[in-house]
C-alpha cells in the first residue's frame, strides 16, 4: 500500500440532505448502522424512518436533520479514514461538529448529544420575526454594503450570515431588514432568494438559544484536535481545545466565514479537498473560491469517488 492521500476534509451542513442518505453505507457497514441507532437513542427520533422512507417535507425539520446529517457525514468519513491523511478540516455550520469528531476534538457521543440539542434550540428559536435570504450575483463588498444600508434604513438587526463564495452570500436578521436588503439587491440587478427557515440563524437574534447551547457545550470534553480544524467564526485553524471551545461558543451567533476558511486551508497546504456528506454542495463551491489555482482539486466522496480514492492507495 502506498502512502495515504493528503487532503483537507469538508463537511456540509443543512441543505445537503436527500432521501435515502447514508442508507447504502449503513447497510454495508455495521459501524455506520450503529451511528444511526445511537443518534436515534440520543435524539429520541426515528431518523432512519424519516430519511430513508419519509417524505421530503419531513426531512427539513432541524430537530431530526441535524443528528441525521451528522451521522451521514461521519459515516462517509469513517469509510475513508484509513486511506487519507488530513491536513485540516472544516465544516459548514452544522458540519463543523462532524469536523470536530473527525479530528477527535469531540467524541462522537458528545457530538451527537450537541447536535440534538442544537437542532431543538434552533427549531424553537423562531418567533416569526426573523428571516434569511440568499444574495446572488453580488460581490462581498456589495453584499456588505446592502446589509449596512438596509440596517440603517430599518434600524433593525441584519448581517451577512454566510460568506459562501465570492458571489453567493446569505443574510440573516429581522424580517423587515431582510426585505429591505432584498429590495436593494433587485435595484442593483442582483438576486435575493428567501430561504425557508424558522429563524435568523448565525445572527445576534440567536443569542438566547446560544446561551442555552453554551451550557450543553460546557459539559463536553474538548481535546486538542489530531489535525487543525478551521472554525466558522474565525476562519482560523484551531489547534487547541481552548481555541475550539471559544469559537464554538460563538458559532450560533457569528457568520460562517466559508470563503476565508477554504483560503485558510489552502494556506496550510491543502491542494486536494474531500467532501464527506450526502451531496457535493461544498465541492461545487471550490472553483468559485479558489479559481484556477494550480493543483487545486476537490471531489465529493460518493461511492464511485470513494472507490477511486481507495484504489489510489491500494
Which residues form the catalytic set? Answer: 93, 202
Overall size of the chain counted in residues:
314
CA-closest candidate to residue 93, choices 70, 64, 125: 70
Amino acid at each position: 500500500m502506498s502512502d495515504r492521500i493528503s487532503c483537507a476534509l469538508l463537511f456540509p451542513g443543512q441543505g445537503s440532505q436527500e432521501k435515502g442518505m447514508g442508507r447504502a453505507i449503513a447497510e454495508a457497514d455495521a459501524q455506520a448502522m450503529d451511528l444511526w441507532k445511537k443518534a436515534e437513542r440520543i435524539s429520541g427520533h426515528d431518523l432512519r424512518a424519516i430519511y430513508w422512507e419519509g417524505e421530503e417535507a419531513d426531512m427539513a425539520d432541524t430537530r431530526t436533520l441535524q443528528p441525521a446529517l451528522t451521522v451521514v457525514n461521519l459515516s462517509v468519513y469513517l469509510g475513508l479514514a484509513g486511506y487519507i491523511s488530513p491536513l485540516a478540516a472544516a465544516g459548514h455550520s452544522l458540519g463543523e461538529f462532524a469536523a470536530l469528531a473527525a479530528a477527535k476534538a469531540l467524541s462522537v457521543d458528545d457530538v451527537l448529544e450537541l447536535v440534538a440539542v442544537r437542532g431543538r434550540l434552533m427549531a424553537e428559536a423562531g418567533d416569526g420575526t426573523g428571516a434569511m435570504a440568499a444574495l446572488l450575483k453580488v460581490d462581498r463588498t456589495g453584499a456588505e454594503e446592502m446589509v449596512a444600508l438596509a440596517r440603517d434604513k430599518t434600524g433593525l438587526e441584519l448581517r451577512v450570515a454566510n460568506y459562501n463564495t465570492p458571489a453567493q452570500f446569505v443574510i440573516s436578521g429581522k424580517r423587515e431588514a431582510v426585505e429591505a436588503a432584498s429590495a436593494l439587491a433587485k435595484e442593483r440587478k442582483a438576486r435575493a432568494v428567501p430561504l425557508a427557515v424558522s429563524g435568523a440563524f448565525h445572527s445576534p437574534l440567536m443569542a438566547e438559544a446560544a446561551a442555552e447551547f453554551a451550557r450543553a457545550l460546557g459539559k463536553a470534553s474538548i481535546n486538542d484536535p489530531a489535525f487543525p480544524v478551521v472554525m466558522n467564526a474565525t476562519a482560523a485553524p484551531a489547534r487547541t481545545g481552548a481555541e475550539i471551545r471559544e469559537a464554538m461558543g460563538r458559532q450560533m451567533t457569528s457568520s460562517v466565514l466559508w470563503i476565508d476558511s477554504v483560503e485558510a486551508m489552502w494556506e496550510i497546504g491543502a491542494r486536494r479537498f474531500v467532501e464527506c456528506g450526502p451531496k457535493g454542495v461544498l465541492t461545487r463551491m471550490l472553483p468559485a473560491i479558489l479559481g484556477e489555482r494550480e493543483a487545486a482539486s476537490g471531489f465529493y466522496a460518493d461511492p464511485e469517488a470513494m472507490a477511486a480514492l481507495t484504489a489510489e492507495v491500494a
